[in-house]
Amino acid sequence: MIGQVLEHASKQYRTTPHIAHRLVARGSVRRERRDSLNIQSGLGCRSCTRDSQQRGGRRCRRPCGRGAMSMAAGEYVSVHSQADTENADLQLERAELKTDDRGEHIELAAIYVARGLDPVLAKQVAQQLMAHDAIGAHARDELRICDASRAHPIQAALASACSFAVGAVMPLLVASMASRTMVIPLVAGSSLMFLALLAGLAAHAGGAGVLVGALRVTFWGALAMAVTPE
């Protein structure tokens, strides 16, 4: 009887629209952020490339500073929105634990059945975990929210600003040494090379394919530079 109930709950959990929507949305945000810092580095390259072409590499600090601040503000707002969503999910889960504790036990056990545990063992695991930390168990296993993956708006904003600023270093150095006739091709080429390098390093640090990551970020960075010539 317990096994049938948990198996039914497990199937219902996997197909519940609001749960699936929250998990897909949260996963999309994290995947997009893996490439965003590299793209921002490319935007930093592009920003100072354009300014260097117009001013011979001088007085680029103000537009680069504005660009870094703009990126930081955008990242802060975006990640803070994710943090608000996570907090709302946790508040909803706390309310459900108070009003339907038995149902939450069944729901958590159903998650473990869906992952391959025997129904009886899944029930025991759910009971012990909820006795220790009910909201923590549901946050981790149902909502997939843990301390390592929580949204940190200020940290994300600082990382975004630094990434943009680092992306501006290479074109500034090249523009300061290149002649006026060669500044455009040299700065543009070095910007793309630097973007590919940063993308490869990020992919390597994350355990992803270096070549694929570098090509993907470089392609989109080059496209962004091409469609914003002014």
Spell out the domain ranges in the chain: 2-26+36-226
Contacts of 58 (CB under 8 A, 6+ apart): none
Confidence category of residue 228, pLDDT binned at 50, 70, 90: confident
Chain-wide mean pLDDT for the chain?
76
**215-224 pLDDT tens trace:** 988 898 888 8
**104-127 pLDDT tens trace:** 999 999 999 998 889 899 999 999
Across the range 78-102, mean pLDDT stands at: 90
Across the range 100-107, mean pLDDT stands at: 90
Across the range 18-33, mean pLDDT stands at: 48
**Amino acid 92: pLDDT:** 92
